[in-house]
Amino acid sequence: MSEDRLASFLKTGSDWGKLKTSIPGIFILKMPAYKTSPARLAVELNPVDSSGSPTKKRGLVLRSKEELEQYREIFQFDKLLPLLEGIDGVNPQVKKPAAAKHGEVLEI
| Domains of the chain, residue spans | 3-91
pTM here is 0.76
Give the pLDDT of residue 50. 87
Q: Could you say which residues of the chain have pLDDT below 50?
A: none
Report the pLDDT value the prediction gives residue 52, as an integer from 0 to 100.
84
Q: What are phi and psi of 72, to 5 degrees?
A: -60, -40
Q: pLDDT at position 100, please?
A: 57
Burial classification of residue 9, based on how many CB atoms lie within 10 Å of its CB (0-12 exposed, 13-18 middle, 19 or more buried): buried
Rounded Cα distance between 46 and 24, Å, is 9
Beta-bridge mates of residue 61: 44
Give the per-residue pLDDT at 53: 86
What 3-state class would DSSP assign to 28?
strand
Beta bridge partners of 41: 30
